[in-house]
Amino acid sequence: MKKVAIIGGGATKCGKREATWRELVQEAGKAMFDNVDNISPKDVEALLVGAAQPERFVFQVHVAPMVAEHLGITPTKVIATTELMCASGQAAIRYAWACIASGMADVAVALGVEKMFMPDMAEAQTNMTCVLDREWDGVNAMSAPPFFAMTAQRHMHEFGTTKEQMALVSVKNHHYSTMNPIAQFQKEVTVEKVLQSLMISPPLNLFDCSGITDGAAGVFLVPAEDAKKYTDTPMYIIGSGQASIGNAVNNLASITEWVPLKLAVKEALRTAKISVNDIDIAELHDCFTISELMEYEAFGWCAKGKGGKFIEDGEPYIGGKIAVNPRGGLLGCGHPLGATAILQSIDILQQFRGEVSRGRRVKGAEIAVAHNLSGAANVHSLMVYSRG
Protein backbone atom coordinates (compact mmCIF):
# COMPACT_ATOMS: atom_id res chain seq x y z
CA MET A 1 0.00 0.00 0.00
CA LYS A 2 1.37 3.41 -0.98
CA LYS A 3 1.57 6.18 1.61
CA VAL A 4 -0.92 8.94 0.72
CA ALA A 5 -0.77 12.71 1.18
CA ILE A 6 -3.39 15.46 1.22
CA ILE A 7 -1.83 18.40 -0.59
CA GLY A 8 -4.49 21.07 -0.25
CA GLY A 9 -8.15 21.89 -0.33
CA GLY A 10 -10.81 24.54 -0.20
CA ALA A 11 -14.21 25.17 1.32
CA THR A 12 -17.24 27.42 1.26
CA LYS A 13 -18.44 29.55 4.12
CA CYS A 14 -20.85 27.38 6.12
CA GLY A 15 -24.28 28.35 7.36
CA LYS A 16 -27.63 29.35 5.90
CA ARG A 17 -26.34 30.14 2.44
CA GLU A 18 -28.09 32.05 -0.30
CA ALA A 19 -26.82 29.55 -2.81
CA THR A 20 -27.94 26.29 -4.38
CA TRP A 21 -26.37 22.86 -4.01
CA ARG A 22 -24.48 23.17 -7.30
CA GLU A 23 -23.30 26.68 -6.44
CA LEU A 24 -21.82 25.38 -3.17
CA VAL A 25 -19.98 22.75 -5.24
CA GLN A 26 -18.63 25.44 -7.57
CA GLU A 27 -17.49 27.67 -4.69
CA ALA A 28 -15.69 24.81 -2.94
CA GLY A 29 -14.25 23.47 -6.19
CA LYS A 30 -12.80 26.84 -7.14
CA ALA A 31 -11.35 27.34 -3.65
CA MET A 32 -9.84 23.85 -3.82
CA PHE A 33 -8.13 24.33 -7.20
CA ASP A 34 -7.02 27.86 -6.23
CA ASN A 35 -5.30 26.39 -3.15
CA VAL A 36 -2.86 24.14 -5.05
CA ASP A 37 -0.47 25.12 -7.84
CA ASN A 38 0.38 22.73 -10.65
CA ILE A 39 -2.93 20.91 -10.61
CA SER A 40 -5.84 21.29 -12.99
CA PRO A 41 -9.23 19.56 -13.32
CA LYS A 42 -7.86 17.43 -16.16
CA ASP A 43 -5.32 15.85 -13.78
CA VAL A 44 -8.01 14.36 -11.54
CA GLU A 45 -8.38 10.63 -12.19
CA ALA A 46 -10.65 9.71 -9.28
CA LEU A 47 -13.55 11.72 -7.87
CA LEU A 48 -15.40 10.70 -4.72
CA VAL A 49 -18.32 12.89 -3.68
CA GLY A 50 -19.46 12.71 -0.06
CA ALA A 51 -23.16 13.54 0.02
CA ALA A 52 -25.59 12.21 2.61
CA GLN A 53 -29.02 13.01 1.23
CA PRO A 54 -29.01 15.00 -2.02
CA GLU A 55 -32.05 13.01 -3.17
CA ARG A 56 -33.96 14.33 -0.15
CA PHE A 57 -32.61 17.85 0.25
CA VAL A 58 -32.34 18.89 -3.41
CA PHE A 59 -34.14 16.02 -5.21
CA GLN A 60 -31.07 14.98 -7.19
CA VAL A 61 -29.25 11.68 -7.42
CA HIS A 62 -26.24 10.67 -9.57
CA VAL A 63 -24.51 13.71 -8.13
CA ALA A 64 -20.83 12.79 -8.65
CA PRO A 65 -21.07 13.40 -12.42
CA MET A 66 -22.69 16.78 -11.70
CA VAL A 67 -19.75 17.74 -9.52
CA ALA A 68 -17.35 16.57 -12.24
CA GLU A 69 -19.26 18.51 -14.91
CA HIS A 70 -19.30 21.77 -12.94
CA LEU A 71 -15.57 21.60 -12.11
CA GLY A 72 -14.39 20.40 -15.50
CA ILE A 73 -13.23 17.08 -14.08
CA THR A 74 -13.32 14.05 -16.40
CA PRO A 75 -12.38 11.07 -14.21
CA THR A 76 -10.80 8.11 -15.98
CA LYS A 77 -10.34 5.73 -13.04
CA VAL A 78 -13.08 6.11 -10.41
CA ILE A 79 -16.18 8.24 -9.95
CA ALA A 80 -18.83 7.65 -7.27
CA THR A 81 -20.89 9.22 -4.53
CA THR A 82 -20.27 7.97 -1.00
CA GLU A 83 -23.09 7.88 1.55
CA LEU A 84 -22.56 7.15 5.22
CA MET A 85 -24.91 9.80 6.56
CA CYS A 86 -22.94 12.12 8.91
CA ALA A 87 -19.70 10.37 7.91
CA SER A 88 -20.31 10.59 4.14
CA GLY A 89 -17.38 12.98 3.71
CA GLN A 90 -15.02 10.69 5.56
CA ALA A 91 -16.24 7.83 3.37
CA ALA A 92 -15.17 9.93 0.35
CA ILE A 93 -11.73 10.52 1.89
CA ARG A 94 -11.37 6.82 2.70
CA TYR A 95 -12.19 5.68 -0.83
CA ALA A 96 -10.04 8.39 -2.43
CA TRP A 97 -7.23 7.22 -0.11
CA ALA A 98 -7.77 3.62 -1.22
CA CYS A 99 -7.65 4.70 -4.89
CA ILE A 100 -4.25 6.33 -4.38
CA ALA A 101 -2.83 3.77 -1.93
CA SER A 102 -3.65 0.91 -4.29
CA GLY A 103 -1.98 2.63 -7.22
CA MET A 104 -5.25 2.79 -9.15
CA ALA A 105 -5.07 6.59 -9.49
CA ASP A 106 -2.40 9.26 -9.08
CA VAL A 107 -4.65 12.23 -8.31
CA ALA A 108 -7.93 11.91 -6.43
CA VAL A 109 -10.43 14.46 -5.18
CA ALA A 110 -12.70 13.92 -2.19
CA LEU A 111 -15.38 16.59 -2.22
CA GLY A 112 -18.22 16.75 0.29
CA VAL A 113 -21.37 18.82 0.03
CA GLU A 114 -24.76 19.25 1.66
CA LYS A 115 -27.51 21.81 1.09
CA MET A 116 -29.75 21.40 4.13
CA PHE A 117 -31.81 24.57 4.32
CA MET A 118 -35.18 24.01 2.66
CA PRO A 119 -38.16 26.38 2.35
CA ASP A 120 -40.07 24.23 4.88
CA MET A 121 -37.78 23.08 7.70
CA ALA A 122 -40.20 20.31 8.73
CA GLU A 123 -39.25 18.69 5.44
CA ALA A 124 -35.56 18.90 6.38
CA GLN A 125 -36.40 17.30 9.74
CA THR A 126 -38.26 14.55 7.91
CA ASN A 127 -35.08 13.74 6.04
CA MET A 128 -33.34 13.12 9.35
CA THR A 129 -35.96 10.56 10.34
CA CYS A 130 -34.90 7.95 7.79
CA VAL A 131 -31.37 7.77 9.20
CA LEU A 132 -32.13 5.27 11.92
CA ASP A 133 -34.19 2.20 10.92
CA ARG A 134 -37.11 4.09 9.37
CA GLU A 135 -39.82 1.45 9.75
CA TRP A 136 -39.05 0.55 13.39
CA ASP A 137 -37.33 3.61 14.93
CA GLY A 138 -37.93 6.52 12.53
CA VAL A 139 -41.64 5.77 12.60
CA ASN A 140 -41.56 6.81 16.25
CA ALA A 141 -40.10 10.21 15.24
CA MET A 142 -36.70 8.93 16.31
CA SER A 143 -34.52 11.42 14.50
CA ALA A 144 -31.12 12.45 15.87
CA PRO A 145 -32.23 14.81 18.70
CA PRO A 146 -34.52 12.28 20.47
CA PHE A 147 -31.95 9.50 20.12
CA PHE A 148 -29.09 11.57 21.53
CA ALA A 149 -31.42 13.06 24.16
CA MET A 150 -32.04 9.55 25.49
CA THR A 151 -28.32 8.79 25.29
CA ALA A 152 -27.70 11.90 27.38
CA GLN A 153 -30.46 10.98 29.83
CA ARG A 154 -28.92 7.53 30.39
CA HIS A 155 -25.42 9.02 30.77
CA MET A 156 -26.75 11.45 33.37
CA HIS A 157 -28.64 8.63 35.10
CA GLU A 158 -25.74 6.18 35.19
CA PHE A 159 -22.75 8.47 35.74
CA GLY A 160 -24.16 11.65 37.26
CA THR A 161 -23.27 13.79 34.24
CA THR A 162 -24.95 17.21 34.43
CA LYS A 163 -26.51 19.53 31.90
CA GLU A 164 -23.97 22.16 32.95
CA GLN A 165 -21.11 19.81 32.04
CA MET A 166 -22.71 19.11 28.66
CA ALA A 167 -23.16 22.86 28.09
CA LEU A 168 -19.41 23.38 28.62
CA VAL A 169 -18.79 21.51 25.33
CA SER A 170 -20.95 24.03 23.51
CA VAL A 171 -19.18 26.92 25.27
CA LYS A 172 -15.74 25.60 24.27
CA ASN A 173 -16.57 24.86 20.66
CA HIS A 174 -18.42 28.13 20.08
CA HIS A 175 -15.39 29.90 21.59
CA TYR A 176 -13.09 28.35 18.98
CA SER A 177 -15.54 28.88 16.12
CA THR A 178 -15.52 32.65 16.75
CA MET A 179 -11.96 32.48 15.39
CA ASN A 180 -12.90 30.41 12.33
CA PRO A 181 -13.98 32.67 9.47
CA ILE A 182 -15.99 29.96 7.67
CA ALA A 183 -17.87 28.79 10.78
CA GLN A 184 -21.67 29.01 10.85
CA PHE A 185 -21.74 30.40 14.41
CA GLN A 186 -19.46 33.31 15.25
CA LYS A 187 -20.69 34.23 18.73
CA GLU A 188 -19.57 33.04 22.15
CA VAL A 189 -22.15 31.25 24.30
CA THR A 190 -22.21 30.80 28.06
CA VAL A 191 -23.48 27.88 30.15
CA GLU A 192 -26.52 30.01 31.09
CA LYS A 193 -27.22 30.79 27.44
CA VAL A 194 -27.08 27.10 26.52
CA LEU A 195 -29.43 26.14 29.37
CA GLN A 196 -31.84 28.93 28.46
CA SER A 197 -31.91 28.17 24.73
CA LEU A 198 -35.00 26.56 23.20
CA MET A 199 -35.73 23.09 24.59
CA ILE A 200 -35.59 20.72 21.62
CA SER A 201 -35.78 17.28 23.17
CA PRO A 202 -35.04 17.14 26.91
CA PRO A 203 -32.38 17.12 28.24
CA LEU A 204 -31.05 18.70 25.00
CA ASN A 205 -31.48 22.43 24.39
CA LEU A 206 -30.89 24.08 21.03
CA PHE A 207 -27.23 24.91 21.79
CA ASP A 208 -26.60 21.27 22.72
CA CYS A 209 -27.33 20.42 19.06
CA SER A 210 -25.26 21.07 15.94
CA GLY A 211 -26.99 23.14 13.28
CA ILE A 212 -28.70 22.64 9.99
CA THR A 213 -26.00 23.84 7.60
CA ASP A 214 -25.22 24.46 3.95
CA GLY A 215 -21.60 23.92 2.95
CA ALA A 216 -19.10 22.18 0.70
CA ALA A 217 -15.39 21.38 0.78
CA GLY A 218 -12.88 19.41 -1.24
CA VAL A 219 -9.34 18.06 -0.87
CA PHE A 220 -6.73 16.50 -3.18
CA LEU A 221 -5.05 13.19 -2.43
CA VAL A 222 -1.84 12.02 -4.17
CA PRO A 223 0.89 9.45 -3.46
CA ALA A 224 3.20 10.75 -0.71
CA GLU A 225 6.15 10.41 -3.09
CA ASP A 226 4.54 13.00 -5.41
CA ALA A 227 3.34 15.41 -2.70
CA LYS A 228 6.27 17.83 -2.83
CA LYS A 229 5.59 18.45 -6.53
CA TYR A 230 2.53 20.35 -5.39
CA THR A 231 3.34 21.79 -1.97
CA ASP A 232 6.11 22.10 0.62
CA THR A 233 3.60 21.39 3.37
CA PRO A 234 1.46 18.32 2.65
CA MET A 235 -0.06 16.21 5.40
CA TYR A 236 -0.03 12.45 5.44
CA ILE A 237 -2.59 9.77 6.17
CA ILE A 238 -0.85 7.49 8.67
CA GLY A 239 -3.71 5.41 10.04
CA SER A 240 -7.41 4.78 10.21
CA GLY A 241 -10.09 2.78 11.95
CA GLN A 242 -13.73 2.21 11.30
CA ALA A 243 -16.22 -0.03 13.09
CA SER A 244 -19.95 -0.70 12.96
CA ILE A 245 -22.14 -2.70 15.34
CA GLY A 246 -25.91 -3.06 14.88
CA ASN A 247 -28.35 -0.53 13.52
CA ALA A 248 -31.82 -0.59 15.13
CA VAL A 249 -31.89 0.58 18.75
CA ASN A 250 -32.29 -3.02 20.00
CA ASN A 251 -29.11 -4.15 18.31
CA LEU A 252 -26.63 -1.49 19.47
CA ALA A 253 -23.72 -2.71 21.58
CA SER A 254 -24.69 -0.21 24.30
CA ILE A 255 -26.47 3.13 24.59
CA THR A 256 -24.03 4.74 27.02
CA GLU A 257 -20.73 3.28 25.81
CA TRP A 258 -19.73 3.55 22.16
CA VAL A 259 -18.08 0.19 21.68
CA PRO A 260 -17.51 0.65 17.91
CA LEU A 261 -15.62 3.88 18.68
CA LYS A 262 -13.37 2.04 21.13
CA LEU A 263 -12.66 -0.54 18.40
CA ALA A 264 -12.01 2.16 15.79
CA VAL A 265 -9.63 4.01 18.15
CA LYS A 266 -7.70 0.81 18.82
CA GLU A 267 -7.39 0.10 15.10
CA ALA A 268 -6.44 3.70 14.26
CA LEU A 269 -3.67 3.73 16.89
CA ARG A 270 -2.43 0.31 15.76
CA THR A 271 -2.25 1.25 12.08
CA ALA A 272 -0.65 4.64 12.83
CA LYS A 273 1.79 3.00 15.27
CA ILE A 274 1.14 5.69 17.88
CA SER A 275 -0.30 5.85 21.39
CA VAL A 276 -3.26 7.98 22.33
CA ASN A 277 -0.87 10.38 24.07
CA ASP A 278 0.83 11.16 20.74
CA ILE A 279 -2.33 12.89 19.45
CA ASP A 280 -2.02 16.69 19.47
CA ILE A 281 -5.37 17.64 17.88
CA ALA A 282 -8.65 15.73 17.96
CA GLU A 283 -11.42 16.84 15.64
CA LEU A 284 -14.28 14.89 17.19
CA HIS A 285 -17.88 14.52 16.03
CA ASP A 286 -19.76 16.78 18.48
CA CYS A 287 -23.15 16.49 16.76
CA PHE A 288 -24.54 16.90 20.29
CA THR A 289 -22.75 18.00 23.45
CA ILE A 290 -23.17 14.55 25.00
CA SER A 291 -21.31 13.02 22.03
CA GLU A 292 -18.07 14.84 22.78
CA LEU A 293 -18.15 13.81 26.47
CA MET A 294 -18.59 10.16 25.47
CA GLU A 295 -15.77 10.48 22.95
CA TYR A 296 -13.26 11.65 25.62
CA GLU A 297 -14.16 8.45 27.43
CA ALA A 298 -13.92 6.13 24.41
CA PHE A 299 -10.47 7.49 23.46
CA GLY A 300 -9.35 6.87 27.03
CA TRP A 301 -8.40 10.45 27.84
CA CYS A 302 -10.53 9.99 30.94
CA ALA A 303 -12.27 7.13 32.74
CA LYS A 304 -15.71 5.87 31.66
CA GLY A 305 -18.38 8.24 32.96
CA LYS A 306 -15.90 11.03 33.70
CA GLY A 307 -16.33 13.01 30.45
CA GLY A 308 -18.16 15.80 32.28
CA LYS A 309 -15.43 16.17 34.88
CA PHE A 310 -12.80 16.13 32.10
CA ILE A 311 -14.17 19.32 30.53
CA GLU A 312 -14.88 20.93 33.92
CA ASP A 313 -11.15 20.58 34.52
CA GLY A 314 -10.36 22.30 31.20
CA GLU A 315 -8.61 19.23 29.79
CA PRO A 316 -10.05 19.29 26.22
CA TYR A 317 -8.96 22.91 25.65
CA ILE A 318 -5.77 23.93 23.83
CA GLY A 319 -3.10 23.65 26.52
CA GLY A 320 -5.01 20.91 28.36
CA LYS A 321 -4.54 17.18 28.04
CA ILE A 322 -5.77 17.15 24.43
CA ALA A 323 -6.98 19.96 22.13
CA VAL A 324 -10.47 18.85 21.10
CA ASN A 325 -12.18 20.66 18.25
CA PRO A 326 -10.00 23.77 17.96
CA ARG A 327 -11.80 24.22 14.60
CA GLY A 328 -15.00 24.94 16.52
CA GLY A 329 -16.52 21.50 16.04
CA LEU A 330 -19.88 20.77 14.51
CA LEU A 331 -21.50 22.80 17.28
CA GLY A 332 -19.65 25.95 16.25
CA CYS A 333 -18.97 25.41 12.55
CA GLY A 334 -22.26 23.74 11.63
CA HIS A 335 -22.72 20.26 10.23
CA PRO A 336 -23.21 20.14 6.45
CA LEU A 337 -23.30 16.32 6.58
CA GLY A 338 -21.30 15.28 3.51
CA ALA A 339 -18.86 18.19 3.88
CA THR A 340 -18.06 17.87 7.59
CA ALA A 341 -15.18 15.37 7.41
CA ILE A 342 -13.58 17.30 4.54
CA LEU A 343 -13.84 20.53 6.54
CA GLN A 344 -12.14 18.77 9.47
CA SER A 345 -9.28 17.58 7.26
CA ILE A 346 -8.73 21.04 5.74
CA ASP A 347 -8.63 22.63 9.17
CA ILE A 348 -6.08 20.07 10.38
CA LEU A 349 -3.95 20.80 7.30
CA GLN A 350 -4.16 24.52 8.10
CA GLN A 351 -3.22 23.80 11.73
CA PHE A 352 -0.12 21.91 10.56
CA ARG A 353 0.71 24.82 8.25
CA GLY A 354 0.20 27.40 11.01
CA GLU A 355 -2.50 29.11 8.97
CA VAL A 356 -5.24 29.31 11.58
CA SER A 357 -5.64 32.33 13.84
CA ARG A 358 -3.45 32.42 16.93
CA GLY A 359 -6.26 32.01 19.46
CA ARG A 360 -7.07 28.53 18.24
CA ARG A 361 -3.65 27.41 16.99
CA VAL A 362 -2.21 24.22 18.46
CA LYS A 363 1.52 25.03 18.45
CA GLY A 364 3.86 22.31 17.31
CA ALA A 365 1.06 19.91 16.43
CA GLU A 366 2.39 16.83 14.63
CA ILE A 367 -0.46 14.30 14.79
CA ALA A 368 -4.21 14.77 14.54
CA VAL A 369 -7.26 12.51 14.46
CA ALA A 370 -10.53 13.25 12.70
CA HIS A 371 -13.61 11.38 13.88
CA ASN A 372 -17.14 11.06 12.58
CA LEU A 373 -20.00 9.04 13.94
CA SER A 374 -23.12 8.24 12.00
CA GLY A 375 -26.62 6.88 12.54
CA ALA A 376 -27.41 5.78 16.07
CA ALA A 377 -23.68 6.15 16.88
CA ASN A 378 -23.45 2.57 15.62
CA VAL A 379 -20.75 3.51 13.10
CA HIS A 380 -17.53 5.33 14.00
CA SER A 381 -14.94 6.41 11.44
CA LEU A 382 -11.45 7.69 12.24
CA MET A 383 -8.56 9.06 10.20
CA VAL A 384 -5.08 9.80 11.57
CA TYR A 385 -3.11 12.59 9.92
CA SER A 386 0.49 13.67 10.46
CA ARG A 387 2.43 16.79 9.56
CA GLY A 388 5.68 15.06 8.68
C-beta closer to other proteins: residue 78 or 200: 200
Of 19, 48, 84, 142, which one interacts with other proteins (CB under 8 A)?
Answer: 142
Rounded Cα–Cα distance for residues 90 and 369 (Å): 12
Least distance to other proteins from the beta carbon of 252, Å? Answer: 8
Of 126, 186, 244, 271, which one interacts with other proteins (CB under 8 A)?
Answer: 126
C-beta closer to other proteins: residue 12 or 161: 161
Q: Is residue 72 a contact residue for other proteins (CB under 8 A)? A: no
Of 37, 40, 69, 139, which one interacts with other proteins (CB under 8 A)?
Answer: 139
Q: Which of 346-355's residues contact partners 24+ apart within 8 Å by CB, and which partners?
A: 346/9, 346/10, 346/11, 346/217, 346/219, 347/180, 347/283, 348/235, 348/281, 348/283, 348/385, 349/6, 349/8, 349/9, 349/219, 349/235, 349/385, 351/281, 351/326, 352/233, 352/235, 352/385, 352/387, 353/233
Question: How many of the chain's residues bind other proteins (CB under 8 A)?
Answer: 40
70 tagged catalytic? no
Least distance to other proteins from the beta carbon of 201, Å? Answer: 5
Q: Is residue 118 a contact residue for other proteins (CB under 8 A)? A: no
3-state SS class at 328: coil
Rounded Cα–Cα distance for residues 242 and 116 (Å): 26
> What is the footprint of other proteins within residues 181-200 (CB under 8 A)?
198-200
Cross-strand bridge partners of residue 209: 288
Q: Which of 155, 174, 335, 371 is catalytic?
A: 335
Q: Is residue 244 a contact residue for other proteins (CB under 8 A)? A: no
Give the Cβ contact number of residue 232 at 10 Å.
7
Q: Is residue 255 a contact residue for other proteins (CB under 8 A)? A: yes
CA distances from 382 to 7, 111, 195, 238 (A): 19, 17, 31, 11
Q: Is residue 121 a contact residue for other proteins (CB under 8 A)? A: yes
| Residue among 280, 279, 286, 287 nearest 361 (CA) | 280
Query: Binding segment for other proteins among 72-80, 103-111, 150-158, 350-358 (CB under 8 A)?
Result: 150-158
Do strands 78-82 and 199-201 pair parallel, antiparallel, or not at all (unpaired)?
A: unpaired
Q: Are 283 and 369 in contact (CB under 8 A)?
A: yes
Q: Are 388 and 365 in contact (CB under 8 A)?
A: no
C-beta closer to other proteins: residue 150 or 183: 150
Q: Which of 86, 209, 302, 333 is catalytic?
A: 86
Least distance to other proteins from the beta carbon of 145, Å? Answer: 6
Q: Is residue 141 a contact residue for other proteins (CB under 8 A)? A: yes
Rounded Cα–Cα distance for residues 161 and 302 (Å): 14
Q: Is residue 229 a contact residue for other proteins (CB under 8 A)? A: no
Of 72, 103, 202, 314, which one interacts with other proteins (CB under 8 A)?
Answer: 202
Query: Binding segment for other proteins among 17-25, 97-105, 130-138, 334-342 (CB under 8 A)?
Result: 130-138
Query: Binding segment for other proteins among 127-135, 170-178, 220-228, 363-371 (CB under 8 A)?
Result: 127-135
Q: Which DSSP string corresponds to 20-62?
A: -HHHHHHHHHHHHHHHSTT--GGG--EEEEE-S-HHHHTS---
Least distance to other proteins from the beta carbon of 293, Å? Answer: 16
In degrees, rounded to 5, the angle at the alpha carbon of residue 35 between the alpha carbons of residues 15 and 13 is 5
14 tagged catalytic? no
Rounded Cα–Cα distance for residues 52 and 130 (Å): 11
C-beta closer to other proteins: residue 139 or 303: 139
Of 42, 157, 228, 270, which one interacts with other proteins (CB under 8 A)?
Answer: 157
Catalytic (active-site) positions: 86, 335
Site residues, other proteins (CB under 8 A): 120-123, 125-126, 128-129, 133-143, 145-146, 149-151, 153-154, 157, 198-204, 206, 248-251, 255
